[in-house]
Structure 1
Amino acid sequence: GMVPTLLKEKYAQDPFYCKMKTVLTIHNPAFKGLVDRYFLRDFWGLDDSLFDSGRVRFDNMVSSLKAGIVDADKITTVSPTHRNELLDPFSDQRLNGVLELRKDDFVGILNGIDYEEWNPATDNLIAKNYSSKAWKMGKKSCQKDLLESFQIQKGSGPLFGVVSRLSWQKGIDLIYEAMKGFLNEYNDCSLIVLGSGEYDLERKMQELRDDYPNHVGVYIGYNNDLSHKIYAGCDFFLMPSLFEPCGISQMISQRYGTLPVVRYTGGLRDTVEGYDESNSSKPDGIGFNNYDVNGLSYAIGKAKELFHTPLTYDKIVGNALKKDNSWKRSCKQYRSLYEGLLEK
């Protein structure tokens, strides 16, 4: 983050560096690169006036992120909605003031996914390959294999999956409460969780498994082979994030015809067209707005209803499988951005 400032302050007269352009990409603005003010001179060799003027100051500390925002030639973040969220005066990240000054140089460009690694037609880590043209038997075989891996049963309802860092940001608490309610009341759906993170959340997932051993499977840690099986074998994929700059898992799940159930925030809003019963030609997932148990429970309920409406469900799975979440469009946007800078 401090590189653009260093180029302008220390290397402006250097013949090698003086014409260099910089692009700062903000992924997770919660990490602001905060250090004591004395690092400015002692570590970077920059003048204290940069702190005194407020140019690199945030919460009375030096912020390398703020420095990059001020001095980079262009600023990007990983989705159009996340850009707007960061510019919102009520944003929790409190970067809206400095970003407002640079908003004409600030763009949101979605991430993409690796279409070679994540391809149900060629994936050798799943039980049976399939494509958008013929997917039912493939997903059925993948689900059978996944359930056997965790030794759990499939009820008459859908199988939900989670592949995530078990963090407060990811809405894991909501998943625990909402799924516990559905398993208590209906006992017809199942859940498989793969992830690790905060101890309390790991423990909650394990408690859910212990309480419903026939319907909940949990793997604490990360296992790449298993992640492929979950993306291919589940019916729905849960992502009720508090905030999500872009998100990748919802795009991978769409690639495998596993419908994402997301909270509309950041890149989740930009990449998931939610089903609302009025139109099945465009939706490729399910979304909700309120970050609370009721919001997620509403979305899970809608997923169950959709699952039991086969013609509509099949149409929406087809939409997800056909969606283009590759890097092609994003690469064109980045190339245009870089070439525009070089022309100046």
Structure 2
Amino acid sequence: MNVLFATTEALPFSKTGGLGDVCGALPKALSAIGVRPTLILPAFRQAMNSGQAIEETGVRLEVPIGRKKVMGELLRSSLPGSDVPVYLVEQHGYYNRPELYREPDGDYVDNCERFVFFARAVLEAIGRLDLGTQVLHCHDWQSGLLPVYLRTLYADRPELADVATLFTIHNLAYQGSFWHWDMELTGLGWEHFNWQEVEFYGRLNFMKAALTRADMISTVSPRYAEEILDPPMSCGLEGILRHRRDDLVGVLNGVDYSAWDPADDPNLVANYTVDNWQEGKGTCKRALQAEVGLPLRRDVPLLANIGRLADQKGFDLIAEVMPRLAEQVDAQWVLLGTGEPRYEQMMLRLAAEHPERVAVRVGFSNELAHRIEAGADMFLMPSRYEPCGLNQMYSLRYGAVPIVRETGGLADTITNTSEATLADGTANGFSFADASAYALSMAIDRAVRAYRSEPVWRQLVETGMRQDWSWDRSARQYADLYEQTLARAKKGEPALASGR
């Protein structure tokens, strides 16, 4: 089966978050089981500077944008370590910029135009490159107009007549919402600007557009597929999502163990497996403590957090509990990330007040992230919502026991420690339901007490390290989903919703 991934991110070409991890790893796993994937993404400056071999194809595109024509070119590369083709849509005016989507003070003002061009360039490329696409796998709002275009402006193209569309929601909170006059840029008639198609409370909404027209819809974990049917997780789109619930499937993301495995991770001072983790993690813990300036203590638990310092990641809860815990609990903390200035400043202040217990690194380093996973005893992810999450799965493989809020992919991967789950051998972390500082504090307390029990802690670490969250499992589910998408497309277009 020929599947075309339409995405704005794919490692190692471009990435701002989990989308890049997914689209860089899933196609390779699909290729290994007989699916024939191809990727197409914008030739962002980040992609052009990625160090990958990129060549010209000689294919030039002319795309209507409103009343003008915009020229672009197609470049070619491949995913490293595979023969999966990657095509890049080059248009310097749109994509040769410092960042993918935004400036320091907000989104690029022409984002609607930039991704209208991308969507139409994708459809032009299918014919020009003779890709034989059967399923067009669209990712997040930036590709949201593709299912609409296939059924409207491009409905008479023979090479596109049998193409089915799968639209994957990676984060429903980001919808691609633009003022109504941007409708002129799309080329779509104003008759489509209605509450059953692309209009959402007076604005053009790319996410909603995809949800109304895609043959099938997926998201990145089974729990998140349930959560987005109701407020507040539905972000206002509960009407269309409930209408399409029979076409909505949750497929958990996977982990690329070729990049995230302590057995052969080149970023670590000592490699280890489940068979010798106590020695290996002990060495990595001492090295991490030395690197970030913490006392070299093996007897205290080292808790870690990596990521955005934002409320969505539960950092408001961390900010509420950490001052007390840093003062009262004999434990160490290491945090790596960037985010809201108030949280960055608070964390730096805590590190200055408790240098023997708190280490903070503002910024991001992939190498340090690997060393933190290997050196930490526990990994904190108290997210208010988390469509899938990857760090908790990295942590399981590295023996850093996760402490998570029970939401989205965190709920699908972490089994809370209790007498019952310890007895049946399923416990692999600690979770809590209420998005409150008290609930987080109690979960941390339970984890710290478990750390003092060597048999319990050994069982938790080894259960997590033995689990398989690889892309192999997810790829087989996607292969089945592509078959469902083709079958759904043969039934005809989805009926329009009767409510927002």
TM-score normalised according to structure 2 size: 0.67
Show the counterpart of 2:478. 334
Mapping of 1:66-105 within 5 angstroms? 66-89=208-231, 91=233, 93-105=235-247
Does residue 227 (structure 1) correspond to residue 369 (structure 2)? The answer is yes
What secondary structure is seen at the aligned counterpart in 1 of 2:228? helix
What secondary structure is seen at the aligned counterpart in 1 of 2:307? strand
- Of residues 103, 115, 129, the one that matches 2:257 is 115
Per-residue CA shift, 1:79-138, capped at 9, x if unaligned? 000010011255451211101111111000000111011111111111111101221000
The alpha carbon displacement at 1:317 in A equals: 0.4
The alpha carbon displacement at 1:255 in A equals: 0.7
- Of residues 176, 183, 186, the one that matches 1:33 is 176
CA distance in 2, matches of 1:212, 1:115: 35
> What's the RMSD between the two structures over aligned residues?
1.3
Q: 1:137 to 1:101 in 2, by over 3 A?
A: same
The 8 Å contact of residues 192 and 216 in structure 1, kept in 2 or not, is answered as yes
The alpha carbon displacement at 1:39 in A equals: 1.7
What secondary structure is seen at the aligned counterpart in 2 of 1:83? helix
CA distance in 2, matches of 1:92, 1:211: 41
Q: 1:141 to 1:53 in 2, by over 3 A?
A: closer
Mapping of 1:1-344 within 5 angstroms? 1-40=144-183, 42-89=184-231, 91=233, 93-153=235-295, 154=297, 156-186=299-329, 188-280=330-422, 281-343=425-487, 344=490
The alpha carbon displacement at 1:278 in A equals: 3.1
Q: Higher mean Cα deviation, 278-287 or 255-264?
A: 278-287
What secondary structure is seen at the aligned counterpart in 1 of 2:158? coil
The alpha carbon displacement at 1:53 in A equals: 4.7
Per-residue CA shift, 1:198-223, capped at 9, x if unaligned? 21111111111111111111111111
The 8 Å contact of residues 286 and 298 in structure 2, kept in 1 or not, is answered as no
The 8 Å contact of residues 225 and 250 in structure 2, kept in 1 or not, is answered as yes
The alpha carbon displacement at 1:330 in A equals: 0.6
Amino acid paired to 2:412: D
The alpha carbon displacement at 1:171 in A equals: 1.2
CA distance in 2, matches of 1:98, 1:237: 36
The sequence identity of aligned pairs, in percent, is: 38
Amino acid paired to 1:24: F
CA distance in 2, matches of 1:315, 1:111: 25
What secondary structure is seen at the aligned counterpart in 2 of 1:75? strand
The 8 Å contact of residues 176 and 208 in structure 1, kept in 2 or not, is answered as no
Q: 1:277 to 1:181 in 2, by over 3 A?
A: farther
Q: 1:155 to 1:200 in 2, by over 3 A?
A: farther
Q: 1:91 to 1:226 in 2, by over 3 A?
A: closer
Amino acid paired to 1:320: G
Per-residue CA shift, 1:7-53, capped at 9, x if unaligned? 1011111112222111110011111111112222x211111111135
The alpha carbon displacement at 1:155 in A equals: 7.2
Q: Name the structure where strand makes up a greater proportion of residues.
A: 2
Amino acid paired to 1:6: Y
Amino acid paired to 1:329: R
CA distance in 2, matches of 1:106, 1:206: 43
The alpha carbon displacement at 1:147 in A equals: 0.1
The 8 Å contact of residues 196 and 212 in structure 2, kept in 1 or not, is answered as no
The alpha carbon displacement at 1:143 in A equals: 0.1
CA distance in 2, matches of 1:330, 1:92: 24
The 8 Å contact of residues 260 and 286 in structure 1, kept in 2 or not, is answered as yes
Show the counterpart of 2:21. none
The 8 Å contact of residues 231 and 252 in structure 1, kept in 2 or not, is answered as yes
Per-residue CA shift, 1:253-273, capped at 9, x if unaligned? 001010010000110000111
CA distance in 2, matches of 1:279, 1:337: 32
Amino acid paired to 2:324: G
CA distance in 1, matches of 2:199, 2:175: 11
TM-score normalised according to structure 1 size: 0.96
Show the counterpart of 2:12. none
CA distance in 1, matches of 2:194, 2:160: 26
Per-residue CA shift, 1:174-225, capped at 9, x if unaligned? 2122122122223x10000010122111111111111111111111111111
The 8 Å contact of residues 155 and 189 in structure 1, kept in 2 or not, is answered as no
The alpha carbon displacement at 1:59 in A equals: 2.2
What secondary structure is seen at the aligned counterpart in 2 of 1:121? coil
Q: Higher mean Cα deviation, 125-134 or 65-74?
A: 125-134
Q: Higher mean Cα deviation, 82-91 or 217-226?
A: 82-91
Structure 1 runs, 4 residues or longer, greater than 4 Å off: none
Show structure 2 runs of 5+ residues with no match. Answer: 1-143, 491-500
CA distance in 2, matches of 1:256, 1:206: 27
Amino acid paired to 1:282: T
Show structure 1 runs of 5+ residues with no match. Answer: none
CA distance in 2, matches of 1:251, 1:202: 25
The 8 Å contact of residues 262 and 397 in structure 2, kept in 1 or not, is answered as yes
The 8 Å contact of residues 146 and 233 in structure 1, kept in 2 or not, is answered as yes
